Amino acid sequence: MIATSTRSSCWRRRCSRRPRARCTGRARAATRRDGRAPGRSGARSCSGSPTASASGCARPTRPRSRPRPRATSASCRSWPPAASASRRRSTTPSPTCSGGRRRSATPVAGAPVRPPPTSPSSTPPHAACRTRDSDPGDVGRLSLALMESTAPTDEPTPETEPDSGLGDHLRIPLGIIAVGAVLLGVALFAQTPEAEVEITRVAGQDRFDTAARLALAAYPDGSDEVVVAAGHGFADALPASGLAGRQNAPVLLVDDEADEVPDVVADAIEELAPTRIHLIGGQGVISAEAAEDLTGPTDADLERYAGDDRFETAALVAEGFAAEEVGSFGGATTVLLVSGRDFADALAAGPLASAGPHPVLLTEPDSLPTAAAEAIDELRAERVVLIGGQAAIDNPVSGALAGLDGVEHLERISGDDRFETAASVARVLDGVPPYRDAERLILTSGTDFADALATGPFAADAGAPLVTVPGELGNAARDVLVARADRLEEVVLVGGTASVPHELEDEIEALILGARE
């Protein structure tokens, strides 16, 4: 596990800076300030670290406790089997998320502005997003039938963003009722059509500002850990949600096309006051100059995950998990596998990865990279969940996974397109506490990765499912909204009106109120 640095009084006064460790070595090894590597060892040298030892930067290989049987079939089965006890997060609607208003029949007049910082003596806005109390008694069971689809999709696909293709569809049986309500004999009442629906928008001037606002809304009291990813190149950024879930941290974005950190990001770092910052990607993605800017406001320790390619970078992030830290379903440790060549389906994995937490590994569409296979073995994963249809992750990958020692369960969550895939993930979360009773839903664009990437940890902290839209509302988002209409009290839109149009606010309200009649 990662040792967390302790803030000193000198740090709080910003009077001096601690000496930094300088680590060099192979690009695929993750650099750590304490002189250890979270994953496989490599040829490395460390200097300047007070904790560096003769053993070098590499951690010892974790012994396998026992051999495990291989998966008997490459076919994808029902997932998740039995929802395990989950950390309960508050689902009480927040007053605001960087702006917003209570809506009944009055439309929102434009995008709201960011609220001023909350004083320590007052109740912080969106404080519910931070609640992570455990409730082991709330254990639900969910049976999902994964059905193979042969219907073609008519959605046009950009050349650089291949559609998820045909895949397995999730159908949830009716009659899933909260266990506590059944035992206590509590009557469950639907909301009346006149009940108010709060439409909230979190939006900045650009993707960097939006991510900063999400981070500050979810962590108004600061965060000891912060994850930083590229704001333009999605490849290295996709594993960020799993790491954020493990560290209970927000995700901030930096401009990988410049050596300077945006001012809004530097301001957010100073306000969050982390003691450790996790960088995903090598210096070609997040430069050394940008890294210095990030640590400047707080003098935080720096940890960088950088592999020879996107697949090794994701593997290094995953191997930073100790095996006992990996989230499980039905008693089986679970990792998520997404396409490393396109972000379309991978964005849907964000809330699921953060909630577990579950490491996110990347794969080629038609072959399993060695780095991913080794990470699955190192984590002793028993369950692998593929996110996306066969166009995103084809059958040869499933076959390779079935041949790995210890992998006992393979599942796939997918839809006809990226928006249906996100809706399918939302339906899976609908059967797992605390998402099952969530009164909040988050909606963002699925055509660009930046806002959705930063939204994953935000959604997990809020205990709210995430759906994506193509600019208009779309059938996939409509279905999720209608299914949850009786209990929804708040819909949070993430992104400006260019990605999530203003007209959707009235359409969402009318849809929810109409479904309650």
Check if the beta carbon of residue 96 is closer than 8 Å to that of residue 490: no
Q: Name the band, by pLDDT with cuts 50, 70 and 90, for residue 195.
A: low
Q: Please report how many Cα atoms fall inside a 13 Å half-sphere around the Cα of residue 404, on the Cβ side.
A: 28
Kindly report the three-state secondary structure assignment for every residue of 311-342: HHHHHHHHHCCCHHHCCEECCEEEEEEEECCC
Check if the beta carbon of residue 249 is closer than 8 Å to that of residue 242: no
- In this predicted structure, the answer to whether residue 491 has a pLDDT above a threshold of 90 is yes
Q: What is the enclosing helix (H) or strand (E) of 468?
A: strand 466-469
CA 102 to chain centre: 27
pLDDT at 98: 41
Q: What is the enclosing helix (H) or strand (E) of 282?
A: none
Q: What is the spatial distance between Cα 500 and Cα 437, in angstroms, rounded to a whole number?
A: 25
Where exactly are the structural domains of the chain? 87-109+138-152+162-213+310-516
Kindly report the three-state secondary structure assignment for every residue of 25-53: ECCCCCECCCCCECCCCCCEEEECCCCCC
Q: Name the band, by pLDDT with cuts 50, 70 and 90, for residue 49.
A: very low
pLDDT at 194: 57
Q: Name the band, by pLDDT with cuts 50, 70 and 90, for residue 15.
A: very low
| Tens-place pLDDT, residues 395-431 | 999 999 999 999 999 999 999 999 999 999 999 888 7
Query: Under DSSP, is residue 10 helix (H, G, I), strand (E, B) or coil?
Result: helix
Quote the mean pLDDT of the chain. 71
Higher pLDDT: 412 or 84? It is: 412
Say which amino acid occupies 389.
G
| Tens-place pLDDT, residues 314-365 | 999 999 898 889 998 778 999 999 999 998 888 888 888 988 899 999 999 9
DSSP class of residue 143 equals -
Question: Rounded to two decimals, what is the model's pTM?
Answer: 0.67
Residue 361's beta-bridge partner residues? 337
Share of the chain above pLDDT 90, in %: 50
- In this predicted structure, the answer to whether residue 164 has a pLDDT above a threshold of 90 is no
| Arithmetic mean of pLDDT, 68-85 | 40
Residue 394's beta-bridge partner residues? none
- How far is CA 92 from each of CA 176, 198, 437, 463, rounded to the nearest angstrom? 21, 12, 10, 10
Check if the beta carbon of residue 436 is closer than 8 Å to that of residue 141: no
pLDDT at 395: 95
| Tens-place pLDDT, residues 205-255 | 999 999 999 999 999 999 999 999 999 988 888 999 999 999 999 999 999
Q: Name the band, by pLDDT with cuts 50, 70 and 90, for residue 196.
A: confident
Q: Name the band, by pLDDT with cuts 50, 70 and 90, for residue 8.
A: very low
Produce one character per residue of 252-274: b if its CB has 16 or more CB atoms within 10 Å, e if not.
bbbbbeeeebbebbbebbebbbb
Maximal CA-CA distance, the chain: 70
Higher pLDDT: 99 or 360? It is: 360
- In this predicted structure, the answer to whether residue 88 has a pLDDT above a threshold of 80 is no
- In this predicted structure, the answer to whether residue 140 has a pLDDT above a threshold of 90 is no
- Cis-peptide, bond into residue 80, ω within 30° of zero: yes
The mean-pLDDT minimum among 88-97, 132-141, 228-237, 281-290 falls in 132-141
- In this predicted structure, the answer to whether residue 23 has a pLDDT above a threshold of 60 is no
Check if the beta carbon of residue 331 is closer than 8 Å to that of residue 307: no
Higher pLDDT: 290 or 38? It is: 290
- In this predicted structure, the answer to whether residue 153 has a pLDDT above a threshold of 90 is no
| Tens-place pLDDT, residues 370-389 | 999 999 999 999 999 999 99
